[in-house]
Amino acid sequence: MATSVRIGKRYAVVLPKKVRERLGLHEGDELLIEVSRRGILLIPRPKSYTSYLAGLHREVWKDLDVDDYLAEERKSWQR
């Protein structure tokens, strides 16, 4: 869903009604701003960061056996 908006006075950007409705945004909601090489990304601020981050990068750990990992960590503490 690509939509064009204009920067207004005081550099304000008004989100179109369709975008607000689709994301369930309301006046007073907070957005996170992420700047990248490609542009600006606006992300609705999560109500709970714990829920938001749960499972993030799960694929990084998929081939790791938790018991083996913990055993290795415990060994390193005893050195």
Half-sphere exposure of 36 (CA within 13 A, CB side): 4
* Rounded percentage of the chain residues whose pLDDT exceeds 70: 99
At residue 55, the pLDDT reads 74
What domains, with CATH codes, occur in the chain?
Answer: 9-77 (2.10.260)
Tens of pLDDT, residues 24-60: 999 999 999 999 999 999 999 888 888 778 877 778 7
What tokens appear for 39 in the block?
Answer: 């542009």
User: Which of helix, strand or coil describes residue 48?
Assistant: coil
